[in-house]
A = this chain, B = another copy of it.
Amino acid sequence: MAGRPDAGTLRRYRRACDYLAAAMIHLKDNVLLTEPLRPEHLKPRPLGHWGTCPGLTLIYAGLDRLIAETGQRTLLVTGPGHGAPAIHANLWLEGTHAEYDAGLSRDGRGLAALVRRFSWPGGFPSHLSPEVPGVIHEGGELGYALATAFGAAFDDPGLLVACVVGDGEAETGPTAASWHSPKFTGSGDGRVLPILHLNGYKISSPTLYESMSATELERYFAGCGWTPLLVDVRGADNPDELLGTALSRAHAHDGGPPPMIVLRSEKGFGLPSAAPDGTPLAGTFHAHQVPLPGAAGDPEQLAALERWLRSYRPEELFDADGVPAPDLLDVPPEPGLRLGRVPQANGGLLREDLPLPDTGMFAIDVRGPGSTDASAPEVLGAWLAELVREAPENFRVVCPDELQSNKLGALLDATPRQFDRAVPGYTEHLGGRGRVLEVLSEHLCQGWLEGYLLTGRHGLFPCYEAFVSIVDSMVNQYAKFLKMSGEVPWRAPVASLNYLLSSDGWRQDHNGYSHQGPGFINQMLTKKASTTRVYLPPDANTLLHTMRRCLASTDLINVVVAGKQGGPQWLSHDDAAVHCRAGAAEWPWAGTGSGAPDVVLACAGTTPTVETLAAAALLRERAPGLKVRVVNVVDLLSLCPADRHPHGLSAEEFTDCFGKAVPVVFAFHGYPSAVHEVLHGRAGSGRFHVHGYLEEGTTTTPFDLLASNRMSRHDLAADAVRRARGWASEGGDIARALVAERDEVLEQSYRDGQDPEGITGWRWPG
């Protein structure tokens, strides 16, 4: 590698990459066209998206030159992940592929393997994926490349994150919001260089950015806070020079709005202008996917394909053994700086443990169950503040403007919200540098955090429970990325993605129905057992232990649901540790004593736990003699059979909690279906009667919200005494009285506009 490769070499390098990409899409044999192309050389199912490939290689080669010239450590985030053939071609030519897989050596054997393995069963997927070196973003589902790129840049001041955004992807909402991200970055962060690749078309239509004039584009991006650099390589003799100049200008940019590049190119350039049947190809949406899909069965298409492939003159680029011409190897930068090798793309290697403070110092002193009140997130906030005071440069909290609302305000006393723009008027807790990023976009929070975690750092995402569903599909994709990463031997574990959902629906009585929705738990249950965890700590000390565990874990998505309102505390710091380790356990002090119970009252979640204990207290009064066991579940997946989930209780542990045949009345935080789902496969799960959110809600009192979903203490107690073994006759009368009492409470709530005392501020009688 010797200095700046000249224009001719770059052009030859791109010819080689474009050839390889086209070959990957169409060929399985005769990959260097050493003999005339015949149908049997073609893949039976040609797959791949050509349209974006030549543009991606133009950018990749341009970045290579920039890196070679400047030594700039650079990570590439490729939004059009379906342009994988181009990235593979570059990775092979730069020698990265061979380093990860000896079968992909930089010779004819490796070349043949690369071409065949693309989009082949057992080979490389058709899109970018964790199997591909240098990749932290798949780009299968569009919209998140730019937010991920910013996530990678935070707290890594020497890093340049180049991010290709396709003009299809640019139409998405999350991308549109992401253009505002520079308002949140500061001098302690790396730089993001977005390259909007405007090739004019998505699958079958022009893009909306294609319809914008140059003036509109400049205004739009300048309005977002960028210095837009427009580069148009359509029909240009010297595309490498045009882009190279812009890249150099961007790299040298100092002060003022940061640079971004709008790169206009023909779609799928290099392709013939039309297919044999006259379908226009180059520069149209017909270039989007496989340009000549019928070549195997149509001699004219076959001939056109051969002409197209030979137009790259592979014989000038590879020797007879398939080894690339020596000058091509001048293009990639030195090995340590190659885009496929940048350590941030395998962030687990860079991951350092967080200096997690001792939880004991922050624990609530709980002398007896229910003897103290506290807000669990408030207690957690103090612990997080201590963590942040250790000044780790590898931890961030992202949140849609809800930290204070979620009672984590203590954190803001330790570190401001980072917002690097002058704001007129009155502010609190705002600064140019801080561990907290608040923006009213769950998409940005999620994308930033994904990029941050995948480059080796740690984080937490506190979110309103109902609105975390905004990122359902992002979580789907992230779970897939984690699952696949776990199957790639060279990928090191990354820190887990941690959610804290503390503005939970049961106490969104004031914000109303739109704020009531616990469906994210169900969403998590569709994932692989290796990927997700769901915790429902019922008080402050269990929350401390749970969050410590989550922040120390790797490669997981942890969902922690813990109500933010002040309420009774149940377990001491030590007891909480034991309880969290167990996942689910009897609370003997809450039941009627040892021996076989007539009914089990089980609960999971802050509010259901309070209601269940209140129900147990009611039953002591109203049904003396009824033998009740109370069980609390903090780790939802402990209910799964052990062969379905690593956290599943053994059959013995499960029986210790729930008996074998006794009815269980289960008060659950979310939709009842989630409990049925985790219980699936446990023998006799038909005896579990689950109360939960029934999708009834509005602005009302907390007790009304519970009662309308049949989750109030009266409903639970009535159900328990009705179902209890041996209470068939007696139980009915007691249950009816309990329901009548519930309705009296409701009547009073409606009259007074609040729940009566004894409901609000209820205390465990001890």
A residues near B (Cβ < 8 Å) are 28, 43-45, 47, 81-82, 119-127, 129, 138, 140-143, 168-169, 171-180, 183, 200, 202-208, 210-212, 216-225, 280, 283-285, 401-405, 417, 419, 421-430, 438-441, 443-444, 466-467, 469-470, 472-473, 476-477, 480, 483-484, 510-515, 517, 519, 522-523, 525-528, 671, 673, 676-677, 680, 695, 697-701, 704, 749-750, 752-754
Q: Which 8 A-B pairs have CB atoms at the shortest separation, nearest pair first?
A: A140-B514, A220-B223, A173-B173, A176-B176, A219-B223, A173-B177, A211-B421, A469-B473
Identify which of B122, B173, B676 contacts A441 (C-beta below 8 A): B173
B426 touches A284 (CB 8 A): yes
User: What are 24 A-B contacts defined by CB distance under 8 Å?
Assistant: A125-B512, A127-B699, A129-B513, A140-B513, A140-B515, A172-B177, A176-B180, A202-B440, A203-B402, A204-B403, A204-B404, A205-B438, A210-B423, A211-B419, A216-B225, A219-B222, A220-B224, A283-B426, A469-B472, A470-B472, A472-B523, A480-B514, A480-B695, A673-B677
Docked pose: A172 CA to B471 CA in angstroms: 12
A405 partner residues in chain B, CB cutoff 8 A: 203-204
Identify which of B169, B220, B512 contacts A129 (C-beta below 8 A): B512
A125 partner residues in chain B, CB cutoff 8 A: 512-513, 698-699
B523 touches A519 (CB 8 A): yes
Identify which of B169, B473, B528 contacts A472 (C-beta below 8 A): B473
Interface of A is mostly: loop
Identify which of B519, B523, B701 contacts A121 (C-beta below 8 A): B701
B127 touches A512 (CB 8 A): yes
A171 partner residues in chain B, CB cutoff 8 A: 177, 180, 439-441, 444
A176 partner residues in chain B, CB cutoff 8 A: 173, 176-177, 179-180
Chain B: CB-nearest residue to A436 = B205
A140 touches B512 (CB 8 A): yes
A417 touches B205 (CB 8 A): yes
Docked pose: A403 CA to B43 CA in angstroms: 27
A175 CB, nearest partner CB in chain B, Å: 8
A290 CB, nearest partner CB in chain B, Å: 10
A205 partner residues in chain B, CB cutoff 8 A: 401, 417, 419, 427, 430, 438
A386 CB, nearest partner CB in chain B, Å: 22
A673 partner residues in chain B, CB cutoff 8 A: 525-526, 677, 680
Docked pose: A403 CA to B471 CA in angstroms: 25
Beyond contacts A206-B423, A206-B425: 4 other A-B pairs, Cβ-Cβ < 8 A, are: A168-B440, A173-B175, A204-B405, A472-B523
Docked pose: A111 CA to B64 CA in angstroms: 71
A180 partner residues in chain B, CB cutoff 8 A: 171, 176, 208
